[in-house]
Amino acid sequence: MLHVKYNIFILLFFLSACSITNYKHSKSKFITIKTKILKFSDLGYIKNTDNSIRLELFVAGNNIQNIEINNLICLNEGCMLRSSFNSEYLSENYPDTILQNIVLGKPVYEGKNFKKTGYGFEQNIQNSDVEILYRVTRNEICFKDKKNKILFKIKDIK
């Protein structure tokens, strides 16, 4: 009996991570994503609440992919742990919060090498696993990891 209750709790936890959310903010952006698996460059929408983010990616007006960032990261194909998403789609060496922080334009790697600029901030992070240049301005977010061949660009639509 306890085993059944435990399984129901686990099932509800996973289902709630990708449940329907009423987002407070919605902005259209030009989004470029280049990773070993994801390749996208077109119009997208970023919707978020205080603790949930949804990327809606479109090509020629057709929604091709949704990415929800909560406790888990959910794609059209299903949900996975943040660390599993990083290993499969980005780099296993990234912190679990990296995708969320990039999409929201917040510092990554706990603010390591943070440098305030007149228009936002920059971070240069280099070690044996990454070679990151991350720049956030008023109109653009640009995350580039040369070592892992990963690029995220999020630009305002003019």
112: left (phi over 0), alpha (psi -120 to 50) or beta: beta
CATH code of the domain occupying 2-156: 2.50.20
What is the residue extent of each domain of the chain?
2-156
Q: Are 98 and 90 in contact (CB under 8 A)?
A: yes
| Total-model pTM | 0.83
Determine the pLDDT at residue 60: 85
pLDDT tens sequence across 57-83: 998 888 999 999 999 999 998 999 999
pLDDT tens sequence across 90-146: 999 999 999 999 999 999 999 999 999 999 999 999 999 999 999 999 999 999 999
Please write down the long-range contacts of 106-113, taking CB distance under 8 Å and 24 or more positions apart: 108/132, 108/134, 108/143
The yes-or-no verdict on residue 27 having pLDDT over 50 is yes
